Structure 1
């Protein structure tokens, strides 16, 4: 039986997170988020901005002291230890189309990046007047990144629900989230990549041990998953739901996660209910990371960083401000978070978008 999260935040919109299932965007209203708490809690004073002027950043990666951050318009920003931002273009065989929720989204460094300077990206493109997404390998030079080869194309795309997260798992395989591309029924179609978590080799091949023969699909029945992270060898995903009911799921190979047949606490044979869901509230969960057994997830609509305890079945908010939060990265001391205030739905300040550093000790601070 689904463990419900019983909590109430006065600042969260209770009116749901969607228009209709065929028109809702990233579990959010399209109007700007104007919520401004009267009093900031103490943890905000400990949060530190370490880089400014980012252009709708989407994914955080780090190599030694340098952060690499994908920007939805089609560039990659490098941030050094002094907070200096150097922006590089990405030369691709097919142009990045930054429209709606599409653009240059997922970005992950190859495990041997220090030697081969290779990374992988997930981006939206247009072909025959239709939107798709593709995964490509790119290589860094002094002044730019250039495409080396394509791993997978014609992942269904749309103005909304493109998914887009890329991560390399403990098994060395590349995992990608594909949204339902505004076609909810396709999430149940195992012949269509929409509404799925995909697993592929870093050369683009289908792994022989994938759960479905000759298919990239690792799990299906997803609406718009945007977070992927592992606790040891167990995969978890954060997912945008309809009218609230945002989800945290434990991902098992070959399983059906129910969209659009079930949401929230609903159940049906051969469909998984989520570990956590937001009920009538809206998190708009995006990026995620594990640290010492705790799952950290950013919230776009809720403007918050959440900490989920899987064993306890509980969630707490550990950071809250006016910022839409897109992705999170953890080291042994800090959580690093990027804002998404310039994505058309926030209220950008003069320094936005930003890379923020939050001490991990804040998971015991006061909260709303």
Structure 2
């Protein structure tokens, strides 16, 4: 159940923005302006960094508008993670079936490439995030985050087009698993390290326990060991106090941003700092407590339930499941400007958004058991920025 509420005292540091959002695609149509979106404003330094949490201000040029330019794939079963290949084709994972499919401009229609053994679908678990090695052209490694019958784990295998997937090599196991709150996003950062967002699997206390891999963002070497420079000795933990992290992306300065599911009240967009504590379960949303990091922005859970995020041109794009919309928020200093919503209700639940060159690929997720599939679902949409 969702029951946590933000603690009293935070409201003096935030500004509730009334949004006028446009439903922008190939056509028009308005949305209501009653969405609760709260960019968090604070003049005090970000704890542990000395960096100011810079208030958002007007940008010199308004960010471009995302417009649907076509479909790259359709009739997919519970698509979850996307990994872009060097030739701009991509791989997509199926949460429920454990299969991986290749799609893209060079692969029409999509082609199944194999099944990852050991993946077990239960609730929100199964085959989740995937990522290709930064040295894929030479090592051909594909990484996956999956739920087994006893845990969540990160594996890697070889993928050579036209050949079967290689046998998975376990890099990290023992990540708590449950019917929900499994996290699952993995991505390589600009430092060449592998980052993973995990959930607390319904055991709230795990998020504050540094010895647990649940409710964390992890940072690993490509071989699965704790990365050099991690804040806690011999630990893969990069940050803690998370409820369920499912979005990871980096801006032009190399800073990590993450989306996080709230419980009843606030979903979050966070700017991630090494060793920082983001407060769950003591705080949901902004808590104005110096020991915990405030989110950069927060959404009412009905309006977001965020999964994947992408950053393109220092603008954050956030895919909403329950909110059934794509949020756009320009980065301004250490926070974001006024968020704007697109495609509300038009394509159903949205699971993942990825930046590919100068465009976005958006993954729908109406076949995940909580949506209402339509003919052709699920699909991957190609968005251009007008």
Report the TM-score range of the alignment, normalised by the length of the smaller protein: 0.7 to 0.9
**Which of residues 41, 46, 49 is equivalent to 2:71?**
49
Matching residue of 1:70: 93
Alignment partner of 1:101 is 2:124: yes
Distance 1:83 1:104 in 2: 23
Matching residue of 2:273: 252
**Which of residues 89, 104, 115 is equivalent to 1:90?**
115
1:264 and 1:279 in contact (8 A); partners too:
no
Deviations 1:50-75 (A, max 9, x none): 21111111112222131211111211
| SS of match in other structure, 1:343 | coil
Matching residue of 2:327: 306
Alignment partner of 1:176 is 2:217: no
Matching residue of 2:42: none
How many residues end up aligned between the 2 structures?
327
Matching residue of 1:30: none
Matching residue of 1:330: 355
Deviations 1:132-174 (A, max 9, x none): 1000111114243123421100100100000000000011000
Alignment partner of 1:354 is 2:354: no
Report 1:148-167 matches (<5 A): 148-167=168-187
Distance 1:265 1:45 in 2: 32
Q: Structure 1 179/12 Cα, relative in aligned 2: closer, same or farther at 3 Å?
A: farther
Q: Structure 1 166/45 Cα, relative in aligned 2: closer, same or farther at 3 Å?
A: closer
Deviation of 1:117 (Å): 1.6
2:88 and 2:356 in contact (8 A); partners too:
no
Matching residue of 1:20: none
Alignment partner of 1:133 is 2:152: yes
Q: Structure 1 178/97 Cα, relative in aligned 2: closer, same or farther at 3 Å?
A: same
Matching residue of 1:123: 146
Report 1:272-283 matches (<5 A): 272-279=293-300, 281-283=302-304
Deviation of 1:80 (Å): 4.0
Report 1:217-228 matches (<5 A): 217-228=237-248
| SS of match in other structure, 1:317 | strand
Q: Structure 1 258/91 Cα, relative in aligned 2: closer, same or farther at 3 Å?
A: closer
State TM-score, norm by structure 2: 0.80
| SS of match in other structure, 1:153 | strand
1:328 and 1:335 in contact (8 A); partners too:
yes
1:247 and 1:276 in contact (8 A); partners too:
yes
**Which of residues 79, 82, 92 is equivalent to 2:103?**
79
Distance 1:45 1:252 in 2: 33
Report 1:232-251 matches (<5 A): 232-251=253-272
Distance 1:74 1:204 in 2: 21
Alignment partner of 1:287 is 2:311: no
Matching residue of 1:216: 236
Deviation of 1:2 (Å): 4.2
Matching residue of 2:58: none
Matching residue of 2:44: none
Deviations 1:293-342 (A, max 9, x none): 10111111111111112215321113331321111112344211111110
Alignment partner of 1:111 is 2:134: yes
Q: Which runs of 5+ in 2 are unaligned?
A: 1-12, 21-30, 37-64
2:67 and 2:385 in contact (8 A); partners too:
no
State TM-score, norm by structure 1: 0.84
Alignment partner of 1:197 is 2:222: no
Cα RMSD (Å) = 2.1
Q: Which runs of 5+ in 1 are unaligned?
A: 15-42, 362-368
Distance 1:62 1:200 in 2: 20
